[in-house]
Amino acid sequence: MTVTVGKKVPDFTAETTGGAFKLSARRGTGPLVVYFYPKDNTPGCTTEGAAFRDAWPRLQACGAAVLGVSRDSLKSHEGFKAKMGFPFELAADGDETLCALFDVIRMKNMYGKQVRGIERSTFVIRGDRTLLREWRGVKVPGHVDEVVAFVESL
């Protein structure tokens, strides 16, 4: 089962830099922005995370929360979050449970070889767990501005 815009996202739990996260515990809150990125401390992922960090005040003003997800370990996430000063949590998805639910694993070309990895993707989920919007195959420049504009329009 994977997520579909306009439908409820199945409840999920994740281990994050802030402890256990459960989607259903957010019921009645503002929107949740979930962004999937390939790897901690890589150029594109650092730029994207910094853009979400810098947009944090605007997202908070809308009652939104942000959750970054990759297959990196919690230890890696903790270092990345501290280094970058992220005000939001990062979820470790080493077993790819969330990656499968959101269907973000793809075969990609890296240095001429096929590798299996996360396709950079972002999802906005309403407090009642309805998936409102998705962006797949994201290019980092300008992406966070588009996400913030969508959240501000809600």
Residues belonging to the active site: 45
With a CB cutoff of 8 Å and minimum separation 6, the contacts of 140 are: 44, 47, 48, 51, 120
With a CB cutoff of 8 Å and minimum separation 6, the contacts of 114 are: 107, 108
Amino acid found at 138: V
For 32-147, list the strands marked E by DSSP: 32-36, 65-70, 89-92, 105-110, 113-118, 121-125, 131-136
